[in-house]
Amino acid sequence: MAVFERSDVEINCVDRAARGFTIMELMIVMAIIVILATMSAVRYEQSVVRAHEAALHQDLFVMRQAIQNYTLDKAAAPTSLDDLHASGYIGEVPTDPITHEKDWTTSTCDDVLSPDQVAGGICDVHSASEAVSPFDGKSYSSY
């Protein structure tokens, strides 16, 4: 009958597996996890700001288009953003994605878009926020 003996290398491997990880190995892994988490948090914040800016651009485009269509159809510019909603040109006045309020700044003018237009009114809309975009350095109210 043969007796199997373990070599010193096999014994060291078994002993090491039973002991677990050293504190240094755990510290290195934790440091790597913290670095990766920090990097992902910064990227997440940037993507949220970019999403809000994209929503702002879309909302402004839709409202400006609705103002133009209202003015051409009714031969008079709207006097408020609520006129666009009441007439069915927009579903509802959107919430400003930067200020999280329905506090848009409107510009009135006497420009006429057609010869039939008899009165001026709202001709443009902007965000009420005075914050500045971290990506292009422009004020949101200038969009």
- Average pLDDT over every residue of 43-59: 96
- Average pLDDT over every residue of 105-134: 84
At residue 17, what are phi and psi to the nearest 5 degrees?
Answer: -65, -35
CA 133 – CA 18 distance, rounded (Å)? 55
- Given a cut of 70, whether residue 36 has pLDDT beyond it is yes
Higher per-residue pLDDT: 2 or 62 = 62
Contact indicator for 62, 81 with CB cutoff of 8 Å: no
Q: What pLDDT does 25 receive?
A: 94
Query: Six-digit token pair at 44?
Result: 């997440």
- Compute the Cα dihedral for 98, 104, 107, 113 and give only its sign: positive
Nearest-10 Cα torsion for 122, 69, 51, 105:
0
Res. 120 pLDDT band, cuts 50 70 90: confident
- Average pLDDT over every residue of 2-18: 59
User: What is the model's pTM?
Assistant: 0.74
120: buried, middle or exposed (CB in 10 Å: 19+, 13-18, 0-12)?
middle
- Average pLDDT over every residue of 68-84: 90
Q: Spell out the domain ranges in the chain.
A: 22-142
